[in-house]
Amino acid sequence: MEKKNLKGMTLQELEDYMAELGEPAYRAKQIFRWIYRGATRFDSMTDLPKELINKLNARSRIGKIKIHGKYESAIDNTVKYVFLLEDGNMVEGVKMEYSFGMSACVSSQVGCRMGCAFCASTIGGLVRNLTSGEMADEILAIQEDTGKNVSRIAVMGSGEPLLNYDELMRFLNLVNSPQAFNISLRRVTISTCGIIPEIIRLADEGIPVTLAVSLHAPDDSIRDRIMPVNRNYPILQLLDACKYYIIKTKRRVTFEYAMISGVNDTTECAQKLSRLLKGMLCHVNLIPLNPVKEKGLKKSDPKKVAAFKKILEDCGISTTVRREMGADIEAACGQLRRSMMLDGVKR
């Protein structure tokens, strides 16, 4: 009989499991707290009776991912982790430190099938979805390694989170649970390429997460070329979904815009984008393109980025240029992939 993995279960599911074992519901809360303190063995749960520990050892387990590789930036305090999953697959995550605390960027899928022209995560396609327990374990592994608690989370690693919707929601339940990570959902950012039905679904959840939409183009002709998702979900329909999200959540939407030399960084592009977004409750995050050798695209000149920013700001659109963190260890936006290192050999 395969042992049941308790990591990733909701508290209610764990209570139901305790009932199956003939145990009182309060035991679930004890076990739940231990798991999200980082416990990986039932024997270490000192407030559980021996009889229950024996039952759990016979029927259950606590899944655990491992840190396979760790890369520390010489530029800032950014650290990229390569996580080894129990089935041998790998994903990457990033730890960033700011004055307000420690942030973690986590992956939601092994690989990605979205095919964006500037992103390393899509190389090799999609292998599988991560479970909520594996996403939670990325946080636990970072906390164990650093000895600090994560205070903000961005689901912006490899994968399209909204195409792993159910497990994403289960993960958010763990993030927000007072017995687990106890992180406000206002401190969580969900990034998407623009999966319209799931943006609507997320809006209807009534939870205050920040939505970050990878826009990267001001019109369909450019976006079709660099983001295949646009052929199914074109820009005007995507913006309508974002407006719905704003109305339902009263939250500002962030639009991510990677500045690609000669592709989407012209004055005309900035003017088109200004017309599209004028009057929306939104923020534009201009991202100097991070190089991915397999893609062959080049970053925009800093002067072009500054000029682009000014055009948007002159139209009243809140705009920043993202600080390039962890670029020397390929930990920046668009650079995370399924695995960077296998058996010590860099790919």
- Which amino acids are annotated catalytic? 92, 333
How far is CA 216 from its chain centroid? 18
Which structure tokens are listed for 136? 């939670």
Q: What is the dihedral of CA 203, 206, 212, 217, to 10 degrees?
A: 20
* Position 129, amino acid: N
* Angle (nearest 5°) at CA 197 between 196 and 202: 95
Alpha carbon distance 182, 37 (integer Å) = 11
Closest CA to 91 of 68, 59, 114: 68
* Position 214, amino acid: S
Q: Say if strands 282-288 and 253-259 run parallel, antiparallel, or are unpaired.
A: parallel
Backbone angles phi, psi at 216, to 5 degrees: 65, 5
Tell me the CA distances in angstroms from 195 to 163, 211, 228, 249, 301, one per residue in order: 8, 12, 12, 18, 31
